[in-house]
Structure formats: structure tokens, C-alpha cells
Amino acid sequence: MAGNNIYLNQSTEHGNYPSHTTNEAQANHPVENPAQGHGQLAPGDVFPTLLSNLGNHRQISFFNADISELPVIIYDSKVGFHAYSSSSSMVNQKLFTMHQDAHGHFHPPIRRAVDNQPVSLDLSVTSLIVFEWIAIIVVVFLFGWVGRKYKKNPTKAPSGFQNALESLVVYLRDEVVYPNVGSVKSAKTLLPYFIGLFCFILLCNIFGLIPGGHTATGAIAVTGALAITAYFVINITAIKEAGIGHWLKHLLGGAPIWLCWIMIPIEIISMFVKPFALTIRLFANMTAGHVVLLSLIGLIFFFRLSNGLGVGLAITPISVGFSIFMYILELLVAFLQAYIFTILTAVFVGLAIGEHAHEEEHAH
Amino acid sequence: MDLGTLGAGLGAGITVLGAGLGIGRLAAAALEALARQPEIAGDARTTMIIAAALIEGVALFSCVICMLLVVMK
């Protein structure tokens, strides 16, 4: 779950709300976060506060403990290029300002101190980027380690973890890449890309489900970047396989030339809709699960703040039960979406190549 | 609660209707194919998952639009 640090305190942005609860009742509530004691929250603000945890953060937290602040890298057309080891050191240098909430957490946008305008480019390392890096390191380390094992003694039967990775790779090769890409030559070239894609998305999805983790694939920038890569893979493979002439001809979609005024725009749109659909699908699937999960947990706090302790306690088992169900469903979705992203990219590559092969048949 | 939020809620509901119908019909057809020809189980499953993902993609487009209605009002 992205951002497990579920604070139910009012943040400075929300202003002052009338207290609906007494402090004694708060102290006795068993399911409340320890941070609750600091402030009061109106029932209507439970969900916005919870959902604000889904986004990008400037620090790494584990539940309520902040582990470390993350580096800030800024490029600005007026002030120039600056890098700081953390948000607080940036604020201490007084060149830039950033909003800080009651817990000491920083919130973008970063502004120039001189004229209070947002900076041109904020390239900071954020929590999502950290978890992406962790996923990359794990993938590279695991496959490097297993690869070395194969190089050392190629004739020995695989054992332990090597076996698990081998069955994954063989499954992806035989069931996903080769049958869908079609052309054996391209499939062989693209196999490492598809395996990397699957493992990276899967790890990013699963990191979002462990406590303290963030879902990098729940950010549209990350899925967008993955889809842009897929776009280039699809089109470059098609051009390599069938040549630029056939690739341009495919823009006609096999229709006669006088239909070009309608076919070419449609084909160009369809070329861009495919990666766009990949982006939205992965992003929305990963985000929707977290939103439902946080909303179910939020029900406990909502009923406790609006209807009192008894109702809150009564709703807890139902809410926790549904949350566990959603969590297991999300585990399934994490695997399914990694699989779907990979297989759809393979299908699109196969379609792009296959259309050319088809046109070639017509030409002869 | 303004009308935009109401529209977003209604939109999400109607989206779910369409997506549910689509995926339901898809699953029914796949099940019929499987009952008739159990040996194509693997192929049918893969094709079904791809088609379901495409239907779901369209449904998620509209869910994102509904979300934008609420967030960007």
C-alpha cells in the first residue's frame, strides 16, 4: 500500500476543525494510529487525508517513523542547477522554499525564494523513484546471480531459486513472447526486454503491497515511461522486420490509396492509443486497488469520528475483513497486470510485424 | 456535493454496467468454447485475458475521466 503512514491529524493545509471527540475517548480507541492524539479531524476529512498518502513523498517512512529525507535536485532557468542532500537542507540554504506540514513533511511545489514562483524543473529523488531503483537492483542482482550460476556449470541441473527463475523465463518465452510476436528472429532479440519488463512491473506492484512500500506503477509518469518504451519497441521492430516502406504503407491499413485521407489519421491515432491504453490500464489498476483499500480502512475512522466509539468498534471487523479480501485480490492483480502489460506489448509487436507480412503477401 | 461529483458517480456506475456486461459475455463465450473443446484450454484462456484486458482498458478510461471530474473541479 502506498504510504502506510496513515496520519489522521489535521495538517496545516486543512485549517482548524471543531473537535468532535474527547481526548479520553481517543486515548482508549484500540485501532487508532498513535499519531491521532495530536489533533482533531472532521469525519469528512478522513478520506482526503488517507488518499493524500497515495502520492509521491519527499521522505521514506515506515509507518509513522521517518527513516530518511530524500535528495532534492532542481534546475531553474533563473537560479541555475542546485542539488541538496535533503529537503530540510534545501530550506535551510534559503534559496528555495517548500511547504512543510505539521509533521515536518515537505510538499511540492518547490518555489524560488526571490519571487515565490515555482521552479522550472524539479528532478528530485522521491519515494517512488527509490522503490523503482530497488526493483531495478533486485532484478539485476537476481538475474546476474542466476546467470553466473549457469555460466559456471552449464551442465548442472538448476536448483533452488535458479529453478524458480528458470521456470518463469521459460514460461514467458514459450507462452508469452514466441507465440505472440510471431517472427522468431525478433522474438529472440526482444526476449530480454519482455522478461525485464515483466519482472520490473511485478516487483514494483508487489513493493506497493508490503508495509512501508510505495507503488511506483501507481504513478502515471512511470507507466507512461514504460508505454513510451513499448511504443518504440513496437515500431522499431516493425520497421526492422518489414522495412520503412512497408511500415509507411501500413499507415494505409490495406485500403485503396484514395482512402488515405481517412485511413492515415485513423492508423496514426491507433498507433498512439495502444501505448496510451497500456499506461492507463496499469496506472488505474494499481491506483484503484489502493483507493479501495484505504477507503475500507478509512470507514473505521469515519464511523468512529461521526458516530462514536461503539460504531467504530462494530465496523472494525467488517472493514478489516473486506480489507484482507481486497489485499489478496490486489496480490492477484499485481501478477495479472504485469502479465497483461507484457503479453499486450508482445501482441502489439506481433500485430505490427504481422500486418507487414500480410501486406507483403498481397504485393506478391 | 455539486453536480460534477454526481455526474462522476453516475458515470462510474454506468461504466461498471458496460464493463460487467462485456466481461460477462466474454467469460460465458470462453466457458462454452472450453466445454465444447477442452483441449484448447490454454489458448482460450490467453485470448480471454487479452480481450478482458482490452475491455477493462476502455472501462478504466472512463473511470479516469470520472476521477478527473471530481479532482479537477
- Across the interface, whether the CB atoms of A284 and B53 are under 8 A apart is answered no
Whether pLDDT at A19 is above 50: no
Is any Cβ of chain A less than 8 angstroms from the Cβ of B70? no
Closest Cα in chain B to A286:
B60
- Residue A21 — φ and ψ, nearest 5°? -135, 160
Report the candidate in A235, A201, A233 with the shortest Cα–Cα distance to residue A218.
A201
Query: Above 70 in pLDDT, residue A169?
Result: yes
Task: Name the band, by pLDDT with cuts 50, 70 and 90, for residue A304.
Answer: confident
**Minimum Cα–Cα distance from A279: chain B residue:** B57
* A313 touching chain B per CB within 8 A: no
Q: Grid coordinates in use for A284?
A: 488505474
B49–A contact, CB cutoff 8 A: yes
- Does A323 contact B at CB distance below 8 Å? no
Q: What is the pLDDT of chain A when averaged over all its residues?
A: 81
Written as nine digits, the cell of A147 is 546467470
Residues B8 and A102: their CA atoms lie apart, in Å, by 32
- Whether the CB of B24 is below 8 Å from some CB of chain A: the reply is no
Torsion of CA A119, A123, A129, A132, to 10 degrees: 140
Distant-in-sequence, close-in-space partners of A326: CB < 8 Å, separation ≥ 6: A289, A292, A293, A296
pLDDT band of A30, cuts 50, 70, 90? very low
Each domain of chain A, given as residue ranges in start order, spans 71-124, 127-363
The span from the CA of A97 to the CA of A82, in Å, is 13
Span A316-339, average pLDDT: 93
CA B8 to chain CA centroid, Å, is 17
pLDDT interval class at B33 (50, 70, 90): very high
- Chain B, nearest residue to A285 by Cα: B60
Chain B residues inside the 8 Å CB shell of A280 = 57, 60-61, 64
Closest by CA position to A285, among listed A364, A350, A344, A355: A344
Sequence letter at residue A218: G
Tell me how crowded residue A27 is: count the other CB atoms within 10 A of its CB: 10
CB A47 within 8 A of CB A293: no
pLDDT confidence tier of residue A50, bands split at 50, 70 and 90: confident
Q: How close is the nearest chain A Cα to the Cα of B57, in Å?
A: 5
Give the pLDDT band of residue A102 (cuts 50, 70, 90).
confident
C-alpha angle A273-A123-A118 in degrees, rounded to nearest 5? 95
A345 to chain B, minimum CA–CA distance in Å? 11
Distance CA A210, CA A287 (A): 15
- Residue B8, CA distances (Å) to A47, A219, A288, B19, B61 in order: 17, 21, 15, 16, 13
Domains of chain B in start order, with CATH, are 3-68 (1.20.20.10)
Residues 6+ apart with CB under 8 A from A162: A146, A149, A150
- DSSP letter assigned to residue A176: I
Nearest CB to A284; choose among B42, B50, B64: B64
ipTM given for this complex = 0.80
pLDDT tens readout for residues A112-135:
888 888 888 888 888 888 999 999
Q: Give per-residue pLDDT as tens, A288-300.
A: 888 888 888 888 8
Nearest-Cα distance to chain B for A95, in Å, is 31
Largest CA distance in chain A: 85
| Between B54 and A36, residue with greater pLDDT | B54
Contacts of A339 in chain B (CB under 8 A): 49
